[in-house]
């Protein structure tokens, strides 16, 4: 059986380390390279606790792509410099699976065009946890009948962007379900800027950043005499790995960019 050759971009980060462990644990996948600007020279097996594997973190993505010739690059980095990295990955002929959030619409459109022109698979998802994907789908369905809602997303205190990509993706689905794009705002006096959260197409989105959290989200719907809460809690980053592994396998058969893990389920 020919294994799928995988490079992890952002391998020294929290998510990157989980991806290294997950890829290594699968019989049909093979870790062949690792890129990050941090932890350069570290053995990825040693930093993830699975034992030395000889795959060291390289500071040059182009070097990793050239030397390892991957089938797929799994990217969990930052929006800063993403477009350049994605372009290098596409030029190398590798497919891309990414959970990097905070990407602009212009960047996504450019990536979609590159994937289409090259007929190369790309999977971009705000969240790879199966439960989180279901939470978004349930919220989308509920919004058809209970249009008044707000989103509270809670993440660890090291997360660099707010709101989360999952919260914005959820709000987008809710808005697309037919909800009014004008926020109902009864508040006449705002005593603290931002107290009512951000306004995304009429949906109030609130971000919490505290130690102890990994990732959680609650969508609260309100109607006459009732409320409905749909919540998903990520207890550990391991919850994302089944979705990542699924995406790595599925992207091999794609010839375009798809958005959201739900597109693969």
Catalytically active residues, by annotation: 155, 159
Angle (CA) 20-14-93 rounded to 5° is 50
Radius of gyration of the chain from its Cα atoms, rounded to whole angstroms:
19
Q: CA nearest 232: which of 92, 136, 121, 114?
A: 136
Q: CA nearest 148: which of 82, 225, 208?
A: 225
Residue with tokens 């993403």: 82
Roughly what angle, to the nearest 10 degrees, separates helices 130-143 and 241-251?
Answer: 90
Report the distance separating Cα 231 and Cα 139, nearest Å: 9
Per the document, the length of the chain is 265
How are beta strands 122-124 and 72-75 bridged, if at all? unpaired
- Residue 213 CB-density burial (10 A; 0-12 exposed, 13-18 middle, 19+ buried): middle
Number of other residues whose CB lies within 10 A of the CB of residue 112: 16
Are residues 126 and 168 in contact, defined by beta-carbon separation less than 8 angstroms? Answer: yes
């Amino acid at each position: 059986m020919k294994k799928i050759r995988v490079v992890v971009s952002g391998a020294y980060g929290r998510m990157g380390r989980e991806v290294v462990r997950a890829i290594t644990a699968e019989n049909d996948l093979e870790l062949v390279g690792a890129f990050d600007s941090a932890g350069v020279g570290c053995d990825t097996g040693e930093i993830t606790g699975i034992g030395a594997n000889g795959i060291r973190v390289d500071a040059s993505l182009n070097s990793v792509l050239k030397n390892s010739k991957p089938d797929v690059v799994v990217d969990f980095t930052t929006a800063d410099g993403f477009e350049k990295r994605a372009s290098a990955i596409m030029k190398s002929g590798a497919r891309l699976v990414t959970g990097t959030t905070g990407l602009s619409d212009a960047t996504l459109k450019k990536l979609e065009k590159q994937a289409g022109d090259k007929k190369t698979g790309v999977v971009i998802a705000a969240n790879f946890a199966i439960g989180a994907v279901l939470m978004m789908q349930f919220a989308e369905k509920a919004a058809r009948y209970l249009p008044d809602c707000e989103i509270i997303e809670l993440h660890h205190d090291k997360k660099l962007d707010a709101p989360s990509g999952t919260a914005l993706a959820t709000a987008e689905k809710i808005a697309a379900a037919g909800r009014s794009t004008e926020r109902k705002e009864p508040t006449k006096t705002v005593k603290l800027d931002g107290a009512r959260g951000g306004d995304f197409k009429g949906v109030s989105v609130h971000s919490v950043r505290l130690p102890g959290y990994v990732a959680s989200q609650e969508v609260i719907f309100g109607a006459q005499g009732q409320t409905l809460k749909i919540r998903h809690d990520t207890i550990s980053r391991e919850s994302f790995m089944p979705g990542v592994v699924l995406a790595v396998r599925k992207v091999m058969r794609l010839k375009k960019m798809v958005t959201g893990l739900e597109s693969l389920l």
